[in-house]
Amino acid sequence: MWKRYSTVVTSILVADRQDSFVTRKISETNLEYGGVPGDLHFGLTKLAGTRELMYERGSEIFNRRQVSIVSVEECAIIAEKLGVHQVLPEWLGANIVLEGFEGLTGLTPGSRIIFPSGAGILCEGENLPCLGPGKVLQENYPNERKLSTRFIKSSLGLRGIVGIVEQPGKISAGDKAEIVAYSHSD
């Protein structure tokens, strides 16, 4: 039911600007309950928005979208589908970039990503595409047409996952991490 895979953490990133979800690379961080300290999405709770229409808009809910994780391979596929040179993890607001694990976005919720320090992230499933990153893409490729809407369609199933910090601890660019994948079919 559980399978283990190796992957490499190519980058750690944080969205620590006042006015943007765009992230920037940092060499390491100490994951806390709630996410990446200083990040826009950090917190054990958040306000319900368009992704949580089952709750009253603006009401406080538990934050299951603490950390955003993407893969080098899937970002490259999105870029290819859009016909652009590259799709940077920064533009997607990603906090962690992994390389060497195929099909990250399809990782079953309940799976874990475990880091050498012991820190671990609980997978909450696919990060469904929204308009924001597409707009950033459009700004970076002003000569391409309709990137902001094309991004949503092109990145479905490829835009990475969100997760909850299950065990706090240090994570660093270059870490070799383990994916403990849960599978119903085995």
Q: CB of 44: closest distance to a copy of itself in angstroms? A: 7
Q: Does 120 bind a copy of itself (CB under 8 A)?
A: yes
- Other CB atoms within 10 A of residue 3 CB: 11
Parallel/antiparallel/unpaired status of strands 67-71 and 96-99: parallel
Q: Which helix (H) or strand (E) holds 76?
A: helix 72-82
C-beta of 4 vs 24, nearer to a copy of itself = 4
- Per this entry, what is the length of the chain? 186
**From candidates 45, 103, 131, 153, binder to a copy of itself by CB under 8 A:** 45
Q: How far apart are CA 147 and CA 134, in angstroms?
A: 6
Q: How far apart are CA 167 and CA 10, in angstroms?
A: 20
Q: Does 125 bind a copy of itself (CB under 8 A)?
A: yes
C-beta of 141 vs 182, nearer to a copy of itself = 182
Q: Does 54 bind a copy of itself (CB under 8 A)?
A: yes
Cβ atoms of 115 and 168 within 8 Å: the answer is no
Q: CB of 12: closest distance to a copy of itself in angstroms? A: 20
**From candidates 164, 171, 175, 177, binder to a copy of itself by CB under 8 A:** 164
Q: How far apart are CA 105 and CA 84, in angstroms?
A: 21
Q: Does 124 bind a copy of itself (CB under 8 A)?
A: yes
Binding mask 78-117 for a copy of itself (x = CB under 8 A): ------------------------------xxx-x-x---
Cβ atoms of 124 and 164 within 8 Å: the answer is yes
Eight-class DSSP state of 101: -
Name the site residues for a copy of itself (rule: CB under 8 A): 33, 44-45, 48, 54-56, 59-62, 64, 108-110, 112, 114, 118, 120, 122, 124-125, 164-167, 178, 180, 182
